[in-house]
C-alpha cells in the first residue's frame, strides 16, 4: 500500500500538466501534509509520502525498502496531469537523505531539494539536479559538513548539477515562509527533546528567502527537462 496521497489542482488554474513532486518529512513520522498543500497552491502536483509511523508502515526508519519509494515515483509519474518524464523530490532532515537516495538509485527523479539532509549517498551516479540547503546553526547534526562533502564528491566526479544555499544563523527545521520558529521539540525516536538550532529572526528570514527559491528550482528542472 502506498501511504501518501496526491495533492494537486488546489488553487491551480487550467488543466496542467503540472510538475510532480514527492514530499518527504523527517523523524516526525506519520503523514505530514502542510508543505505539500502549499506547493499544490503554487502549481505543483504533490504526493505527500509517509514512510514510517503511519498506518501499516514500519514504526521506525532503521530498515527502509527503497522499492517503496520507487513505487511512489512510478505512481506519481502515472498521473495524467504530471509533466513527464521526470519528477522531483523535496525532503527535510531524514527526508532529505531519502530524496538524495531516490535521485541516485531510482529512475526518473530529476530534481531534488535536500534541506538539512545527510550526504551518505553515491551522489556522483545521479543524473538529476540538486538543491542542497544548509542552516549553519543546525544543532541536530553537522549539516554544513555534510553539504560540503556532498559538493566535493560531485565536483571530484566532474559534476556541476547542484546549487548550494547556506543560511548562517538558521537552524535545522527550515519550513515554508512564515511558519513558526521551532528551536527545540520532542524527538519521537530518541524519546526526549532535541535542539534544532537557529536564531529566531534570521531563521524566519531564511524561510522567506528559501521558499520561492525551492519553487523556482523545481520548475526550472522539471518543466525545462520535459521540453528536451
| Positions marked catalytic | 93, 138, 172
The answer to whether the CB of 137 falls within 8 A of the CB of 154 is no
What sign does the dihedral 213-137-114-145 (CA atoms) show?
positive
The answer to whether the CB of 134 falls within 8 A of the CB of 166 is yes
C-alpha–C-alpha distance, residues 118 and 171, integer Å: 15
Q: Which three cell numbers stand for residue 66?
A: 527503497
From residue 9, alpha-carbon distances to 57, 72, 220 in Å are 27, 19, 20
Amino acid at each position: 500500500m502506498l501511504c501518501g496521497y496526491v495533492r494537486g489542482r488546489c488553487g491551480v488554474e487550467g488543466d496542467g500538466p503540472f510538475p510532480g513532486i514527492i514530499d518527504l518529512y523527517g523523524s516526525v513520522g506519520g503523514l505530514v501534509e502542510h508543505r505539500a498543500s502549499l506547493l499544490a497552491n503554487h502549481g505543483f502536483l504533490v504526493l505527500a509520502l509517509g514512510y514510517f509511523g503511519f498506518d501499516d508502515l514500519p514504526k521506525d526508519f532503521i530498515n527502509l525498502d527503497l522499492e517503496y519509494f520507487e513505487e511512489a515515483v512510478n505512481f506519481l509519474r502515472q498521473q495524467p496531469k504530471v509533466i513527464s518524464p521526470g519528477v522531483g523530490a523535496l525532503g527535510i532532515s531524514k527526508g532529505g537523505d531519502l530524496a538524495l537516495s531516490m535521485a541516485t538509485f531510482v529512475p526518473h527523479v530529476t530534481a531534488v531539494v535536500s534541506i538539512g539532509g545527510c550526504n551518505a549517498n553515491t551522489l556522483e551516479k545521479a543524473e538529476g539536479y540538486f538543491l542542497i540547503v544548509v542552516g549553519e546553526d543546525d544543532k541536530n547534526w553537522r549539516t554544513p559538513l555534510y553539504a560540503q562533502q556532498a559538493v566535493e564528491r560531485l565536483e571530484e566526479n566532474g559534476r556541476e548539477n547542484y546549487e548550494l544555499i547556506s543560511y548562517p544563523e538558521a537552524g535545522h527545521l527550515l519550513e515554508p515562509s512564515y511558519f513558526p520558529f521551532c528551536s527545540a521539540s520532542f524527538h519521537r525516536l530518541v524519546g526526549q527533546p532535541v535542539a534544532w538550532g537557529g536564531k529566531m529572526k534570521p531563521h524566519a528570514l531564511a524561510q522567506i528567502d528559501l521558499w520561492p527559491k525551492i519553487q523556482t528550482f523545481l520548475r526550472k528542472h522539471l518543466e525545462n527537462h520535459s521540453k528536451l
